[in-house]
């Protein structure tokens, strides 16, 4: 079974802090994704990566950056956290043209 | 732009009945569709997928139907069980960008014992 592991289930940070969310997958998938999930809005794509050191902006990249130095790890960075970035963050991985496999999410609160 | 939506935000069914969850999409170029199940406190879990060259696909107790004419997707769950209670949402990806999926906002399925 594919396992996508997000480093934290719950995280509380302060406005202006730099926040790192980590994601690791164990199936050698090429593609990795970061989404945020807000009530009534569904999943919105922040960034995705289709190879090491490659990244593409999703629909809502503002205020975020990503890093993919190794194939199995995809990091989401909030450069200067703001309260409107309080959300559930979901990481996913997949092979091309295959379903995405999701982690269990990180619930991030920015105070 | 594309939109993927669900007709009913909440669906309540009796245990043992069949459930039907619907999804509309607007991009006629969409080629690949997925249904996910998300239980409370967990990430979305893949249920079943279908490509646009098919109208129907069956899994274990689940069937996905695709009507390309009206751009409609449905998920049928047979003999619904309490463990099926969750939020279900569809996702679609167009031909020109298979890496990028668009997700509906979800339907909450409540199974009454």
> In a mutagenesis test of the A interface, which of B31, B99, B100 is the best target, namely the one with the most A β-carbons within 10 Å?
B99
DSSP string, B43-81: --EEEEEEETT-SEEE-SSEEEEEETTTTEEEEEESS--
Q: Is the distance from CB of B109 to CB of B19 less than 8 angstroms?
A: yes
Residue A1's pLDDT is: 67
Residue A23's pLDDT is: 97
* Helix, strand, coil in percent for chain B, rounding step 5: 5, 55, 40
- The verdict on a CB contact (< 8 Å) between B41 and A50 is no
CA dist., res. B111 & res. A102, Å (int): 24
- The verdict on a CB contact (< 8 Å) between B42 and A97 is no
Give the pLDDT confidence of B95-106 residue by residue, as tens digits: 777 678 888 888
Q: What percent of chain B stands above pLDDT 70? A: 91
CA nearest A42 in B: which residue? B105
Residues of chain A with pLDDT under 70: 1-2
Phi, psi of B84 (to 5 degrees): -85, -10
The CA angle A34-B99-B59, to the nearest 5 degrees, is 95
Q: Residue B100: list chain A partners with CB under 8 A.
A: 45, 48, 58
- The verdict on a CB contact (< 8 Å) between B49 and A99 is yes
CA dist., res. B48 & res. A40, Å (int): 23
Q: Residue B103: list chain A partners with CB under 8 A.
A: 35, 42-44
CA dist., res. B4 & res. B83, Å (int): 26
Q: How many whole angstroms from its chain centre is CA B21? A: 6
User: Distance from A88 to chain B by nearest Cα, in Å?
Assistant: 10
Give the pLDDT confidence of B45-60 residue by residue, as tens digits: 999 999 999 999 999 9
The size of the A-B interface in CB pairs under 8 A is 48
């Amino acid at each position: 079974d594919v396992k996508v592991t997000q480093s934290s289930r719950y995280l509380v940070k302060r406005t202006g802090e730099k926040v790192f969310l980590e994601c690791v997958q164990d199936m050698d998938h090429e593609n990795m994704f970061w989404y945020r999930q807000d009530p009534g809005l569904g999943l919105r794509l922040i960034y995705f990566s289709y190879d090491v050191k490659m990244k593409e902006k999703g629909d809502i990249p503002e205020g975020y950056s990503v890093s993919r130095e190794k194939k199995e790890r995809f990091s989401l960075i909030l450069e200067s956290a703001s309260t409107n970035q309080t959300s559930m963050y979901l990481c996913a991985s997949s092979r091309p043209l295959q379903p995405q496999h999701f982690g269990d999410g990180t619930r991030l609160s920015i105070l | 732009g594309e939109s993927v939506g669900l007709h009913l935000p909440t669906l309540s069914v009796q245990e043992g009945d069949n459930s039907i969850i619907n999804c509309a999409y607007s991009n006629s170029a969409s080629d690949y569709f997925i249904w996910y199940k998300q239980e409370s406190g967990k990430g979305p879990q893949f249920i079943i997928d279908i490509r646009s060259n098919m109208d129907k696909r069956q899994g274990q107790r689940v069937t996905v139907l695709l009507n390309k004419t009206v751009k409609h997707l449905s998920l049928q769950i047979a003999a619904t069980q309490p463990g099926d209670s969750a939020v279900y949402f569809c996702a679609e990806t167009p031909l020109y960008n298979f890496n990028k999926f668009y997700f509906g906002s979800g339907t909450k399925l409540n199974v009454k014992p």
